[in-house]
Each structure stands twice: as C-alpha cells, then as structure tokens.
Amino acid sequence: MYRRRKGDGEKGNGRWIIRIELIVLLAFVCAAMNRELRGRVVEQEKQGGETGTGWVSENGEAIEVSATGNYIKWVEFHATCEALAAAYDLDVASCQDEIRLNWIELLAYVGAKHGGKFEKGSVREIEAAATKLQAGETTMEKLTKDMEYYDYYLEAYQAVLSGMVGEFSLMEEGKWHRYYGLKAFSPIAKGFDYSHYDDFGSSRSYGYSRPHLGHDMMGQIGSPIIAIESGVVEALGWNQYGGWRIGIRSFDGKRYYYYAHLRQNYPYAEGLAQGDVVTAGDVIGYMGHTGYSTKENVNNIETVHLHWGLQLIFDESQKEGNNEIWIDCYELTKFLYRNRSEAAKVGDTREWRRVQEMQDPEVEKHCKNNTPMIQ
C-alpha cells in the first residue's frame, strides 16, 4: 500500500505548477506562431501567390485564402443608407470635374478604416476625404497606403455595388437623354406601399433550421416586382422554399439577385423566360406568398411579401453549396428607395409595364453577343 511520505504534497504541488507554466508558455508560443502564419498568408495573397488555407480576421470580417484559388470567401456589408447616399452624391456631383470621386472607393476607405463598421461619423469621414481629394491634397492611393485591408474592402464593395451607378439614357418627350447616376432600382414599383425591417439572419425552420439570408418587404398581392439591376435571367420556376422565384445574374457575374414568393397563378411578367436579358427598372414579376411546399403553386407563406436576396460570387464554386455569400440588404434597400420605377397597368390584363424606358449601355454591350432581350 502506498503511503505518502512527509513532503510529498509540497513536491507534487510544485511539479503541477511547473507543468501549468509549461502549458501556458506553449500556448503563447502557438498563438505567436499562428499570428505569424496568418501574416504570411495575407502577404502571399496580396502578391497573388499560391498559399495554404488560412483565415484572416479583423473586427469580425473574415477573409479565407485557399490553395485552390485566391478569391474572397466572406463579406459582411454594413454600409448605412446615409453613407451610401453621401458617397453617391459626391460621385455624381464630381462626374464632370477634373478630379472625379468614386463612391465605392470612398466607402471602402471608411470600411477599411473601421473594420467594416459604419458609425455615426462615417458621413463626415467620407466628406472630409472627398474634400482632400478634390483639393489635390492627396490621392486615394496615398490615403489608403497604410490600410492593410483596403484592397479587400474595395473588391468586396465593388462586387456589391459596381453595377448600380453609371451612364444610362431615359426616353423623355420622344427623345433619348443621357445621364450619369443611379441606374439601379428599388425592387418594388413606385406607388406600391410596403413595410420592412432588418430581418437578415433571423431564424427559419421550414425544411431545416437556417438563418434568413435575404430581405423581406411586406406589401400587397400583385405589386409589380422590379429588376434592381440589368442582367440575365438565370433561374425561373418553382422552389419549395421560395415558391415561384426569379434569379437574375449581373453581366459581370458577381451578383445574383433572388426574388421569391411571387404571386400564385400569375407570378411572372408576360413572356419572361430563362436566358432573357432584362433592363434595370423592368417589371419582372408580382408579389405573392407562394412557397414552403414541394407541390407547385401553393400559398404556404403566411404574410404576403417579396423576399429578395443578393448573393456575391467571386468564384463559380460559391454559386451553390456551403460557400455561398449572401449580404444584408436592408440599408441598401433604403438607399434604392430614391430610384423607384413607375409601372402602368396594361389594359384589363393582370400585366404591368414600366412607364419610362431606359437604355443601359451594359445591356447593349451584352446583347452584341446575340442574347435575346425582353421588350
């Protein structure tokens, strides 16, 4: 039988203390090595070299670097409506100036400065940066040279916003007039009321437990649904979760717009088909509450609303599966309210058409490849 000798307890406690100190020291060493490894991964990614898989995170923003391809794996878009509007107004106001301002660059500057957060002072920071740029005191390159993650935020925000501002033409009094500005639209036609709140990430349980990866806009059955951006109809038909739905891909392939829960029996604009090209502002469908059923054309959604989502695609492997990137569209929806497409009813039919025609140069460019276009 083991008997503890005098002093065994003191010696045992001493050995345990030494072991604990060694474990703590080892943890610090591993953490330091991990930080060093992450620093090397970022540096190789910036230089366009192949890297191992690793994560880089700053204030909740995560960027994954993969050995199979250097592209962004995650985006959280938190630009407020006020910041979007301030940057946009500065961009448009300077469009004919010698020093032009780029609204996405201004937003990326603030995003990189604060780890993707847009606080109350963001508008002042955007305006202050714009003043310095236009005065010739600095350039965006100089302003951001010490910002380690500026390139990331710039690429991420370009993926979200690059199709929304540019040149376009409007038919006015029988003539085409050319403009520069916002050529993206609110997803619900002008004159049709709706209510909404920030519901991104809230829980959903039909089929399986999952977060809500879109934005719901509650309104009336039959409200005309508008193409936010010009693009190609990539998906059309029934989905048990989204009911009658439409998926439209931007011409640069970076954005996939998802419109769901469309009207029972008459969900789409007449003649709309997969593969068609639509112009921003076109009526593409009608609000309803279809979905949550494996059987087609069923109203199993309790509240009439449009679910619209914006998926970012940096690589085709992200299109479907576990690597999808969906962003919070609440603030973006508020910003797009300033540009609503007016629609008029077509006779005694259930069809609505846009009132003011618009020409988007990106549509014309795309249609040179003989892609059929919606009239």
In this prediction, residue 374 carries a pLDDT of 47
Please provide the average confidence, as pLDDT, over all residues in the chain: 84
Break the chain into its structural domains and give their ranges: 44-161, 169-367
- pLDDT, position 176: 97
Q: Cβ contacts of residue 187 below 8 Å, gap of 6+? A: 217, 225, 226, 228, 259, 306, 308, 333, 336
pLDDT of residue 372: 52
Mean pLDDT confidence for 335-355: 97
Question: What is the per-residue pLDDT across 43-60, written as a single tens digit (0 to 9) for each?
Answer: 222 222 222 233 333 333
Number of other residues whose CB lies within 10 A of the CB of residue 73: 17
**Computed over its alpha carbons, how large is the radius of gyration of the chain?**
26
For residue 317, the one-letter residue type is S
Domain 169-367 in this protein, CATH class: mainly beta
**Helical H runs in 140-248?**
140-143, 150-161
* Among 178, 193, 162, CA closest to 340: 193
What pLDDT score was predicted for residue 207?
A: 66
> What does the pLDDT read at residue 211?
84
Arithmetic mean of pLDDT, 297-318: 96
Element (H, E) at 243: strand 243-249
pLDDT in tens, 189-203: 999 999 999 888 787
Q: How far apart are CA 18 and CA 331, in angstroms?
A: 54
pLDDT in tens, 84-117: 999 999 999 999 999 999 999 999 999 999 999 9
Predicted TM-score of the model (pTM): 0.81
Percent of the chain with pLDDT over 90: 74
CA separation for the pair 248, 230 (Å, rounded): 8
Q: Is the pLDDT of residue 186 over 80?
A: yes
Confidence of residue 175 (pLDDT cuts 50, 70, 90): very high
Percent of the chain with pLDDT over 70: 79
Could you give the maximum distance between any two Cα atoms of the chain, in Å? 107
Q: 15: buried, middle or exposed (CB in 10 Å: 19+, 13-18, 0-12)?
A: exposed
321 φ/ψ sector (left φ>0, alpha ψ -120 to 50, else beta): left
At 93, which amino acid appears? A
157 compared with 13, residue with greater pLDDT: 157
* 3-state SS, residue 207: coil
